[in-house]
Chains A and B, each alone.
Chain A
Amino acid sequence: MIEKGKISAAQMSFLSYANIVVTSILIVPGITYKYAKQDLWLSPIWGALLGLMLVPLFLQLHRRYPSYTFIEYLEAILGKVWGRLVGLCYVLFFLLSSGLTLRQYGDFLIGAVFRETPLLVIMALFSLATTMVVHAGLEVLARMADIFVPLLVFLWLLVIVLLLPDYELKQVLPIMENGAAPSLRGAVAPFTWNALFFYLSSLLPFVNERERKEGLKWSYITVLAVMITLVTTNLSALLLFGNITGQFVYPFMNAARYISYADFFENMEALVMAIWVGGMFIKHAFYQYVLVLSTAQWLHLSDYKSIAYPIGVIITILGLWISPSVADIAHFIDVTLPFMSLGFFILIPAMLLLIAVLKRRLAVK
């Protein structure tokens, strides 16, 4: 095993939570509203059902190969040739995810505050910082999540609470006006984000031995925490904006901008910005870590740290090249990414488990 660090079950939970929630509180409400209208707060509940199915899937795979990460048991289950071939697809997919995350970070920052700064500068500096984290290893990444995640949750809660007097409860009515279909169609985005519980497979092998049991409990707590966060965010956007929610790309950001108390508590979108920068730092560092570790495991290297910087350079350039416009990325996330997530995060792992079970059965006979 080339990762010698150990993390606690709570740290695993924090990392997965941050990974899913950071981008989703900004991007999901807008996409969900487009399809689900006033039922948008129901969609994350459907999404959580997927999370509740994925967690046992990865726990089962983990139980069969306790010290292996995904790339490693891929090879153990599928054999050398197929394992490495599928492994390459995963490495490339992780690369794409990292590039996309970096670009999203840059685009949002430029759109909201740094209007004149070149994209490359923002992305390169951010990438340098996350690469340093990856180079320092998993334990540093986990401790960073320890520090940041409670702070981010607090800031998020602050925005929600400060908006309390402006909510209009009647905006949620009528509930399920056209049945469950619109909220289910709107659930595609929450599904895509819940599929990110796949990344548990990169963390489970490194959880402390004595906390193995708790890892199980914490995984489910994370699913619930993600659901509650998303439902609350979607609901607060709806209660505040009603049927104009759909006009905003980032409703949560606009909601924060709306806060004003005694001409003193204003420009609260700075809080959202802090959540975004801090959260994206964890998310991108985590993605980059998974990519670097997977690449090293795929190549059977003796250490992953030595390739952290070269891969950081590749990600930065990919982030620059990946798309000419914000609209292209939004379109990709809306219609193409759900199918890629379905394949990479759900179908292939489910098939792996099936093959692993069948293999064992046949071996016993």
Chain B
Amino acid sequence: MRWGSFIGITVITLIIAWYQWPKINQGHRKDKAAFVVLSAAGWAFGVIVAAFPHLPSPLTLLDTLFEPLSKLLE
């Protein structure tokens, strides 16, 4: 685990929350929930990518998925 990345992503997420939270339409619980979930997802995503930089990329998955079709082009 790289602590620099961990601290970085945490600080960025907190700054965004501090800036954006008061501006979310009051009384819309769904908006607030969406903001919290997406912020948490971004944070978790960042931590995971920082911890395991060599995760297989989504493009590899898609390349494999579409291989029967893409063979037609090659």
From 28 to 61 in chain B, residues with beta carbon under 8 angstroms from any chain A beta carbon are: 28, 30-31, 34-35, 38-39, 41-43, 45-46, 49, 54-55, 57-60
Residues of B within 8 A of A318 (CB): 45, 58
Decide yes or no whether B19 CB sits under 8 A from chain A.
yes
Known: A307-B34, A307-B35, A335-B73. A317 touches B42 (CB 8 A): yes
CB distance from B9 to the nearest CB of A (A): 8
Residue from A295, A302, A309, A323 within 8 A of B57 (CB atoms): A323
Which residues of A approach B to under 8 Å, CB–CB?
Answer: 96, 188, 295-296, 299-303, 305-307, 309-311, 313-314, 317-318, 320-324, 328-329, 331-332, 334-336, 338-340
CB distance from A180 to the nearest CB of B (A): 17
B57 touches A321 (CB 8 A): yes
A310 touches B59 (CB 8 A): no
CB closest residue in chain A, given B70: A335
Residues of A within 8 A of B70 (CB): 335-336, 339
6 of the cross-chain contacts (CB-CB < 8 Å) are: A300-B30, A305-B23, A306-B24, A310-B38, A317-B49, A322-B59
Q: How many A-B residue pairs have CB under 8 A?
A: 100
Q: Which of B25, B28, B66 has most chain A Cβ within 10 Å?
A: B66
Report the bound CA distance from A266 to B24 in whole Å: 51
Which residues of B approach A to under 8 Å, CB–CB?
Answer: 9, 12-13, 16, 19-20, 23-25, 28, 30-31, 34-35, 38-39, 41-43, 45-46, 49, 54-55, 57-60, 62-63, 66, 69-70, 73-74
Report the bound CA distance from A317 to B9 in whole Å: 10
B31 touches A314 (CB 8 A): no
Report the bound CA distance from A81 to B33 in whole Å: 21
CB closest residue in chain B, given A100: B59
B63 touches A336 (CB 8 A): yes
Q: Which of A299, A309, A332, A340 has most chain B Cβ within 10 Å?
A: A309
Residues of A within 8 A of B25 (CB): 302-303, 306
Report the bound CA distance from A329 to B62 in whole Å: 11
Residues of A within 8 A of B34 (CB): 295-296, 299, 301, 306-307
Residues of A within 8 A of B35 (CB): 306-307, 310
Report the bound CA distance from A339 to B60 in whole Å: 15
Known: A321-B57, A328-B57, A336-B66. A314 touches B41 (CB 8 A): yes
Residue from B19, B46, B58, B60 within 8 A of A313 (CB atoms): B46
CB closest residue in chain B, given A128: B12
CB distance from A239 to the nearest CB of B (A): 27
Residues of A within 8 A of B43 (CB): 313
B45 touches A323 (CB 8 A): no
Residues of B within 8 A of A335 (CB): 63, 66, 70, 73-74
